[in-house]
Amino acid sequence: MKYRLLFYELQKYIEHKNALVITGMRQVGKTTLMRQLFEDIGDKPKLWFDFENPLDQIMFEDIEYNNIYKRLEDKVSSKGNRLYVFIDEIQNLPEITKVIKYLIDHYNVKFIVTGSSSYYLKNLFPESLSGRKFLYVLPPLTFKEYLYFKDIINLEEAHSNKIHDVLHKTDILLFKKYEVAYEQYLEYGGFPEVVLTQDNQTKNLVLRNIFASFFEKDIKLLSDYADIRQLRDLILLLVPRVGSMIDISKIAVELNVDRPKVYSFLEFLQGTFMIKLLPKFSHNIDRSVAGGKKIYFTDTGLLQAIGKVNEGQLLENAVINQLSIYGELSFYNKRNTAKIDIILNKEIAFEVKLSGTRNDLKKLKELALDLKIEKYYVLSKKFTDEKCIIPPVNI
């Protein structure tokens, strides 16, 4: 069985006192990842709980937290040794955070937990737990992880995660080696089950089930969003807008709701990792926050399962997801006359093209230098020998 790259990061902190909290979309592999960590620690005193099972919650439903520890200790006869407690779907028992804090502070207990979304976890992990947790987001497979899961590259190559290491000119043979895999990645995305499924029809069924699961579980846990139909309609409205700035007023009119409700829906969709909202570039943080945002989906396979977009939109969405692992992303729009698709960490500019040209690079250079950004690249799906025009398969 393959390990996600995050597994190796979590391994480093398995002996640290802080709780390890893994969040992300449903079916990205959080439970599998935590199970691999559970197996990796061998015969150390350890317990596994699944909070989708009410019987597993009972162990922690006691106002006397010392009693909870004693029951946990007795369950594995740890007798003072470090106890490792793994909890899946922690959002199903919000009060568990108080127990975690107390047992970390008073006993030698290591917690490794998963939660379905950051939207819940914002409220689930209050400031009282600051300094007692390491929070990690597990996304769908990156393209490099995709290649690793498909046995096209090895683990060492998959671990190359510094942006400056990947922004070098590739050769045509390397491009051709990854070309077919990248087309599959664009079409079906990076959910592990989808990637490991061979039949395309089954891939589509799995993606539809993932979308259905989002409505069955994530939405119904939030009583504030009783009108599921409006949220569904919003998602459908967002699909053709991929790569475009969101006009909140127009969306509100189309949904027949007020603007605050649209904002709350978007916050929810971003918090449950369904979408990404890209802010406008600004050297001034306040202006960046205040400006309009562009919409993308977290997984291109899920995007394609919901509705169809054109080839350019699909490519740009995939590149956004690929570059997200390297830092903060923004975009630049010069009074609707010129634009830069993506700016990474305010220091590297990217323009995404199906077929990049020298003229595209020249325009990008002028805009980037005007913003005092000295590194710029055109990401071209079609291979070209031009300097600073590289294929997205590199990243």
Query: What is the average pLDDT across 377-388?
Result: 94
**What's the confidence (pLDDT) of residue 169?**
65
Q: What is the mean pLDDT of the chain?
A: 91
pLDDT digits (tens, 9 = 90+) for 28-42: 999 999 999 999 999
Side-chain half-sphere exposure of 262, counting CA atoms within 13 A: 18
Question: If pLDDT is split at 50, 70 and 90, which confidence band does 290 have?
Answer: very low
**What's the confidence (pLDDT) of residue 250?**
95
**What's the confidence (pLDDT) of residue 341?**
97
Percent of the chain having pLDDT more than 90? Answer: 76
Question: If pLDDT is split at 50, 70 and 90, which confidence band does 287 have?
Answer: low
Report whether 361 contacts 379 (CB < 8 A).
no
Calculate helix-pair angle for 248-255, 259-271, nearest 10 degrees.
100
Q: Does residue 231 have a pLDDT over 50?
A: yes
Pairing mode, strands 275-279 and 133-137? unpaired
Lowest mean pLDDT among 47-56, 110-119, 185-194: 110-119
Q: Does residue 134 have a pLDDT over 50?
A: yes
Question: If pLDDT is split at 50, 70 and 90, which confidence band does 130 have?
Answer: confident
Question: Residue 390: what are its φ and ψ, rounded to 5°?
Answer: -125, 155
Query: What is the average pLDDT across 8-16?
Result: 97
Query: What is the average pLDDT across 363-367?
Result: 96
Q: Which of 148, 85, 95, 93 is nearest to 115 (CA)?
A: 93
Query: What is the average pLDDT across 92-108?
Result: 92
Which CATH number applies to 5-137? 3.40.50.300
pLDDT digits (tens, 9 = 90+) for 232-277: 999 999 999 999 999 999 999 999 999 999 999 999 899 999 999 9
Q: Which of 200, 144, 191, 181 is nearest to 300 (CA)?
A: 191
**Residue 342 bridge partners (DSSP):** 350
Report whether 246 contacts 235 (CB < 8 A).
no
Question: If pLDDT is split at 50, 70 and 90, which confidence band does 285 have?
Answer: low
Q: Does residue 225 have a pLDDT over 70?
A: no
> Quick count: other Cβ atoms within 10 Å of Cβ 177?
15
**Residue 264 bridge partners (DSSP):** none
Q: Does residue 198 have a pLDDT over 80?
A: yes
Question: If pLDDT is split at 50, 70 and 90, which confidence band does 328 have?
Answer: very high
What are the structural domain ranges in the chain? Answer: 5-137, 143-394
Q: Which residue has the higher pLDDT, 216 or 201?
A: 201
